[in-house]
Amino acid sequence: MAVTLKMLAEYTGFSPATISRVLNNDPSMTVSEETRRIIFDTAKKLGYAGGSGRRTQRIITDTMTIGIAEMLSPAEQMTDPYFMYLKNFVEQTCYERNVQTVMLRADADGYHALSSEINGIIAIGYFSDAQIASMQMLCNNITFLDSSPDELQHDSVVLNFELGMKQALDYLRELGHIRIGFIGPKRLGDDVKRIVQEPRRRYYEHYMRERGLFRSDFVIEAPMRDRMVVENEFSMRLRTMHQDNLPTAIVTVNEECAIGAIHALRNMQVRVPEDISIVSFNDTVMSSVVEPPLTSISPHLDYMAAMAVQLAMQRASTPAHQPERRYPQKIVIPPALVKRSSTAPYIEEE
């Protein structure tokens, strides 16, 4: 007898609609990690095949378990959903490939696992040397997603930020913009994270300097996950500039910064995109629901996550699966420009 959503609902106590959305990793569905774990574990235990039950029942034969380490806390992810989407796509890919997942617990001593048997770890974001060492105590098969701290030892999947920035700036210049600014931090990390230069800002400065277009007063230093700070910093900068000398376009490090910039511009009676165009990075659902919808650089989050799972599985060792390779790999994903309503051609006023 095939397992259905109704049967899963009876076992777990959650509604069929909730179970369906969780199993399909609906990004708009917010549930606790415990709820997510119960639903996924029950589905795997009962051999849920998906759909109405008319398909062949899924049988879980592989005991491979992947641990997931997150850089950001759940509260931080609410202000910057980029990493939340990466985690959701990792879990979805693992479910589709019959791989179990467990969330690693973070504390002052590093990362810990509730499960005693972990065959691989996918680490999402940036991590300190001490944090990486704690992961290695659990399992040395670590795949870093969105960072690459040790290419000689560990697998990694990263975005080609340089290509993404070039796409954004080339597109704005095609629209006639040359006074192009940037909003974002100079560096990533804090006192417990690995400190690195923010790649989008680095490539922005290189591109603009190379073409003789760089202006330091068009660069707004702002954190990635604090919309109000971005709004305040950008507002203060706008007030110091003459109306005829404002940037005509802005590239932001992520959507949170873009939304802060839009609020600041509205308060100053500056229109987007008629007066200033905005291009953002990340292209999560947030890009399409903000007003105006954001032109954005898409990192193909689902594909990045799928590649990370594939790399982790290739080097995992279980009774039913031997490692397919010994040496680490680094995969660099090319992004894509998604055009929406936050950009428009520059028209010089007469």
Q: Which residues of the chain have pLDDT under 70?
A: 1, 25-30, 33, 49-62, 79, 115-116, 189-196, 349-350
Q: Determine the pLDDT at residue 291.
A: 93
Q: How far is CA 7 from the centre of its chain?
A: 34
All structural domains of the chain: 1-60 (1.10.260.40), 161-299 (3.40.50.2300)
Residue recorded with tokens 């369906």:
20
Q: Determine the pLDDT at residue 238.
A: 83
Q: How far is CA 252 from the centre of its chain?
A: 15
Q: Determine the pLDDT at residue 56.
A: 37
Taking the model in full, what pTM does it have? Answer: 0.78
Instruction: List pLDDT tens digits, range 296-328.
Output: 999 999 999 999 999 999 999 887 778 999 899
Pairing of strands 180-184, 249-252: parallel
- The answer to whether the beta carbons of residues 265 and 271 sit under 8 Å apart is yes
Q: Determine the pLDDT at residue 194.
A: 53
- Quote the strand ranges of the chain, DSSP E: 65-70, 100-103, 105-107, 110-112, 120-124, 142-145, 155-159, 180-184, 187-188, 196-197, 219-221, 249-252, 277-281, 295-298, 330-333, 336-338
Q: What is the spatial distance between Cα 94 and Cα 209, in angstroms, rounded to a whole number? A: 43
Single-letter residue type at 7: M
Single-letter residue type at 287: S
- Quote the strand ranges of 55-95, DSSP E: 65-70
Instruction: List pLDDT tens digits, range 15-64.
Output: 777 888 788 766 566 677 677 778 877 887 777 766 544 443 343 444 79
Q: Determine the pLDDT at residue 190.
A: 44
- The answer to whether the beta carbons of residues 338 and 296 sit under 8 Å apart is yes
Q: Determine the pLDDT at residue 49.
A: 64
Q: Determine the pLDDT at residue 242.
A: 76
**Residue-wise DSSP of 173-214:** HHTT---EEEEE-SEE--SSSPPEE-HHHHHHHHHHHHTT--
Q: Determine the pLDDT at residue 55.
A: 40
Q: Determine the pLDDT at residue 9.
A: 80
